Structure 1
Amino acid sequence: MGPVLSRRDFLAFGAAAALLPDLASAASPTGAKLHGLSAFGDLKYPADFTHFDYVNADAPKGGTFIFSPPNWVFNQNPLTFNTLNTFVARSDAPPRMEMCFDSLMASALDEPDALYGLIAEGVTISDDRNSFEFSLRPEARFHDGSPLTAEDVAHSFKLYKQDGHPSLLLPLSQMTEAVAVDPHTFRLTFSGRQPARTILGVAGFPIVSKAYFEANPFTSANMKPPLGSGPYKVGRVVPGQTIEYERVEDYWARDLPVNRGLYNFDRIRIEFYRDRQAGFEAFKKGDVLYRQEFTARVWATGYDFPALKEGKVVKREFPAEKRPSMQSTAINERRERFRDPRVRKAIAMCFDFEWTRRNLFYGSYERAQSCFERSDYRADGLPSPAELALLEPLRGKIPDEAFGEAVIQPVSDGTGRDRKLLGAALKLLGEAGWKRAGQFVQNGKGERLTVELLVDDQDWIRIHSPWVENMKAIGIDASIRVVDSAQYTNRKLEFDFDLVTMAQSFTATPTRDEIEATFHSRAATLSGSSNLAGIADPAIDALVEAAGRAESREDLITALRALDRVLRARLDWIPNWYLPNHRAAFWDMFGFKEPKPDFGFPVEAMWWFDKDKAAAIGKA
């Protein structure tokens, strides 16, 4: 239930979907111009490579791809939009606006941690590894034909550091200089206090036009498309309902190795449906051509419509990416009543996953346990000696459970009302000072323990209602609040909620900047950050910073497993569930290369329109 959200999950966003390298490795030497960078190892593709292996380099161009996006970045909203400015925290932008902008470097989705030049044909790293000089391609152009120069790159980074969305702002906190050395040379300098791998996160940021944003306020929310340089530009727009992206026929970078075989559709159209069922009905009629299904009930029972039975629609599963994921419910610790871990644990014990899986999920989904599910960063068993070396200095400042077996959520008896678990939850509330007084528990001030689950989709009522009823059974005044998409976004921006569910995937080599935005105290008060739980703990900060200092993949695994142990013991986030694959359905009119790459699945960028298939099903 619910899409896997990713801050950096789209190929056209270049290195923002990349796996960020340890610049201390031999793969990133100083003093020489490099065509690419890799974390902890060698690059797969040489300087003279012609295209990525997972694409069809000769894919035909044409056709229209109509879909509802399964993931999005920045301030984007899959249900509605009221601005075309995707770079700031406020307002709701449509997904895939990033396809209109190029970045300095782009990622290979068949490598866990490799970047190759896009706007920049190469990069040179200074001896102290704090300065990075990018050689820009002189042919780089914006859509109006004006040259994209180092001045535009420098201006972009300055804008992001001052007023950008937290995903853009936080990684630039240690940036000291963004300079156009000459029209085709850009130098980016950091203070020396930045994590080693920060540079390749920011090397994937979208580059915008200096001239455009000198004439138009950067922080404004309007429906005027910013001037871009990428493979697509904004076409037809119906605010809140439809946006079309048109392929740029004379796109300056279409034949670069990082782009060959990609961006094949003439138009990419996104249709917005506030109601899941309405979106599904549109798909069944062919008004939407590709859909990833996030509702188990619909996947199990709804795909029996005529077009599927006639073979016009394909229903299948694709392997999920080999990237850590996290789908959990954040408990807002900015509110005093949720700061006691015993209260958070009691709330978590009321969620009966076993009953939910059997009765609502039709046996699909696995129980999530980790903040880094599906990856080597998930902690299991007892901590290793290397993990203990990080944890021991924090003893007394972190839960004792972090030193034992990795915390696992309790398994219920599957009845939906496990008396043993609910009794244990009520006992925890009593220990935390919440005593039963009639129907509800109260604290010493006579205040009820209230819990409101904030949602923006009616389907969540079906999922969360049994959880709410179990909380009520032990005296918690629990409820569900359904709000519209715009209000939901604003309340998350302002951290105005009790509990809210979020799904997120990290890159395969998470950087400190990524995990800082979700777990570090610096993000706890930053509007728009993904630290929805409001975690502000120096011990957590120390483990985040240890991950940022990792000089090998083994060091990174150790640091993130240690962090995972502490987060799971604290229960700032209640893990819920995850899928080991993508459930997808599409009208059989597309071509694609198999197998899919391991580290990304941007079908709108990799697939192509197949005229013969379309004709066979009457969609030519």
Structure 2
Amino acid sequence: MTSIRTALQLTSLLTSLALAATPPLSLASEDTAGSLTPRAGIAMHGSPKYPAGFAHFDYVNPDAPKGGTLSMSVVANGFDSFNPFDIRGVAAAGISTYLYDTLLESSADEPFSAYGLIAESLETPPDRSYVIFNLRKEALFQDGEPITAEDVKFSFETLTNKGHPFFRNYYADISEVTVENPHRVRFDFGTTSNRELPLILGQMPILPAHYWKTREFGENGLTPPVGSGPYRIGEFEAGRSVTYERVTDYWAQNLGVRKGRFNFDRIRYDYYTDDTVVLEAFKAGNLDFRQETSAKNWATAYTGPKFDNGSIVTEAIEHHRPTGMQGFVYNTRRPVFSDPKVREALAYGFDFEWANKNLFYGQYTRTDSYFENSELASSGLPQARELEILEPFKERLSSSVFTEVYAPPETDGQQGLRKNLRTALELLTEAGYIIRDGKMVNAETGQPLAFEVLLAQKNFERVVLPFKNNLAKLGIDVSVRLVDSNQYVQRVREFDFDMITQVLPQSDSPGNEQREYWHSSNVDAVGSRNYMGVNDPVVDELVSMVIQAPDREELVQRVRALDRVLLHGHYVIPHWYLARDRVAYWKQLVRPETTPKNGIDLNNWWVKP
């Protein structure tokens, strides 16, 4: 599961006070008449942590005061849309989180459990072949209209037919939607082995059918739409800033899934085109909070009287969420990257150890899994159950999957890079390349080995340029192109690049979203997150196995098998990760004492009265 909060980012995306008398259930039970007992919460595997009618999540302060303004920054070339669900345009930051409620709400201290928000309860049989959501009668859109089952059906049909391609993939196994009464809606599934569907349907943002009845979805531009969430759009300046205002009579504010959350009266995003300017704006007091992504800044820039006297607080807060994969991503649709041996060879030109020492102040750890920082990551050679999963595919996989421990190239000492470049040269020779007149060329066609790295952040040039220079020693011509954020987004959507630097986020409970990243059906789907162009029947089968995992232990083993096959496909050159959130904030902000495993969430913070 990757929740619908980003990548579009998918979100950091269930139990009602009204169900206080309902006992918690791990699986829906059938009474003597064959009907299902409604439940207030559901876990992907096992039982949810929180009982029906729980007062609040353990990691929030239920008495947090409301009020104040939270000012933050976005480094981008503006926005031109208030519709985060359409592939056209660039949506304003924060809009999917603050403007729209979902049927269920996920907790941040469990692998994947969800509890009732718009839905008061849900019903699903042990095989999870369908799910019924019972909606709260008090649930309202921001214009005062009630949220009904017709709105849920409308939202599903609109998102899957007119929305971002992500939704079609995410909800691909849903066969029918039936409105049983104004507050009861049923989803039937085309397969009975996709246990995640009741939970990910709960993540679906609910749109007002009455509002869109007279409007064309995706063409409303910067007209503020009607939402259902805790904030509405306030003041905004097209492309430069947007402010969300708290809905003071928000219908869900006293539910257990909302208590102690969304405490700021106003949340403002200001757009900048230069992160250096953002840092100075933060230190000047124009911004309240900053999450630092630059190791150099963290080591050198957070000094001065305001830090010494405690006006600005800096913390590196440990988290236990999967960090996913950040790396140089190959577009294997390009002929230059079609050969895995070439992709493997080029990885020897990236000197992580040098970069970590000279650029990052030794703060990072090398990534060697798509599911880094979690039990889902593969390691060593495949054994026991993971080996059983992979054995049927043995004839279709590289032998290295079974005989070689995957590890990204590393340099050890002064000769490390030279040794790595020799290895790269050997691999390129095996792939049919030779050096001619100082250039690496295809021995048969004479075509030079050359490619472009597309960037949207100037500060990443300091990482790319040493990589470029190392490969130049092998006669490989690497060019670097820096474009504005809007052009970058559009080119990535259309796979118009050779190589990009990209983060592939993961959750603690991978599922249907894996189709978006790796499945062959998305190789040519504009806007999909199969940036690499993975097109492998074995990967397709492993993705299906992950989605159909019957329990947590089997899920872990199947994800490890998928991870291993992807790593040996050499689709990326792995970068690094940090198991801490580096944050700086002005002292008027307060955070809860407890940090959940997923790390910080500003929606749980507040301003000192």
For Structure 1 versus Structure 2, the TM-score category normalised by the shorter chain is over 0.9
Instruction: Please name the residue that 1:507 is paired with.
Output: 507
Residue type matched to 1:335 in 2? R
Map 1:375-524 → 2, pairs under 5 A: 375-413=374-412, 415=414, 418-443=417-442, 444-511=444-511, 513-524=512-523
The percentage of aligned residue pairs carrying the same residue is 38
Task: For residue 306 of structure 1, report the CA deviation from its aligned partner.
Answer: 3.3
Instruction: Please name the residue that 2:18 is paired with.
Output: none
Given the alignment of the two structures, is residue 45 of structure 1 paired with residue 24 of structure 2, yes or no? no
Conserved 8 A contact 2:581-2:599: no
Kindly provide the CA deviation profile for residues 456-487 of structure 1, in whole angstroms up to 9, marking residues without a partner as x. Answer: 01101111100011111111110111000111
Conserved 8 A contact 2:14-2:40: no
Instruction: Please name the residue that 2:581 is paired with.
Output: 582
Q: Which moved more, 1:264-273 or 1:306-315?
A: 306-315
| Cα distance in 2 between the residues matched to 1:88 and 1:193 | 30
Conserved 8 A contact 1:352-1:416: no
Residue type matched to 1:599 in 2? N
Conserved 8 A contact 1:350-1:421: yes
Task: For residue 213 of structure 1, report the CA deviation from its aligned partner.
Answer: 1.8
| Cα distance in 1 between the residues matched to 2:365 and 2:7 | 20
SS in 1 for 2:213: helix
Gap regions ≥5 residues in structure 1: 16-24, 70-76, 612-620
Conserved 8 A contact 1:533-1:572: yes
Task: For residue 174 of structure 1, report the CA deviation from its aligned partner.
Answer: 2.1
SS in 2 for 1:86: coil
| Cα distance in 1 between the residues matched to 2:84 and 2:51 | 34
Instruction: Please name the residue that 1:530 is paired with.
Output: 529
| Cα distance in 2 between the residues matched to 1:68 and 1:514 | 28
| Cα distance in 1 between the residues matched to 2:29 and 2:367 | 39
Residue type matched to 2:506 in 1? F
Conserved 8 A contact 1:171-1:202: no
Q: Which moved more, 1:372-381 or 1:417-426?
A: 417-426
| Cα distance in 2 between the residues matched to 1:29 and 1:536 | 41
| Cα distance in 1 between the residues matched to 2:287 and 2:222 | 24
Conserved 8 A contact 1:471-1:478: yes
Task: For residue 159 of structure 1, report the CA deviation from its aligned partner.
Answer: 0.8
Given the alignment of the two structures, is residue 606 of structure 1 paired with residue 604 of structure 2, yes or no? yes
Instruction: Please name the residue that 1:54 is paired with.
Output: 59
Given the alignment of the two structures, is residue 65 of structure 1 paired with residue 50 of structure 2, yes or no? no
Residue type matched to 1:578 in 2? Y
SS in 2 for 1:270: strand
Kindly provide the CA deviation profile for residues 233-279 of structure 1, in whole angstroms up to 9, marking residues without a partner as x. Answer: 11111122111110001111111111011110000011111211011
| Cα distance in 1 between the residues matched to 2:539 and 2:11 | 29
Q: Which moved more, 1:483-492 or 1:584-593?
A: 584-593
Residue type matched to 1:507 in 2? S
Task: For residue 39 of structure 1, report the CA deviation from its aligned partner.
Answer: 2.3
SS in 2 for 1:418: helix
| Cα distance in 1 between the residues matched to 2:69 and 2:389 | 52
| Cα distance in 2 between the residues matched to 1:492 and 1:127 | 41
Conserved 8 A contact 2:347-2:409: no
Residue type matched to 1:322 in 2? R
Question: Structure 1 residues 211, 406: closer, same or farther in 2, change over 3 A?
Answer: farther
| Cα distance in 1 between the residues matched to 2:191 and 2:153 | 19
Conserved 8 A contact 1:333-1:534: yes
Residue type matched to 1:561 in 2? R
Task: For residue 26 of structure 1, report the CA deviation from its aligned partner.
Answer: 4.8
Task: For residue 419 of structure 1, report the CA deviation from its aligned partner.
Answer: 1.2
Conserved 8 A contact 1:14-1:204: no
Residue type matched to 1:547 in 2? V
Conserved 8 A contact 2:434-2:441: yes
Aligned length: 589
SS in 2 for 1:396: helix
Kindly provide the CA deviation profile for residues 89-142 of structure 1, in whole angstroms up to 9, marking residues without a partner as x. Answer: 221112211111110000111222211000000011146532211110011111
Instruction: Please name the residue that 1:614 is paired with.
Output: none
Conserved 8 A contact 2:296-2:360: yes
| Cα distance in 1 between the residues matched to 2:379 and 2:526 | 33
**Superposition TM-score, scaled by structure 2 size:** 0.93
Question: Structure 1 residues 28, 475: closer, same or farther in 2, change over 3 A?
Answer: farther
Residue type matched to 1:319 in 2? E
Kindly provide the CA deviation profile for residues 550-607 of structure 1, in whole angstroms up to 9, marking residues without a partner as x. Answer: 111110111111111111111112211001101100001022212211125321x100
Gap regions ≥5 residues in structure 2: 16-24, 31-35
77, 82, 85: which one pairs with 1:84? 82
Residue type matched to 2:453 in 1? L
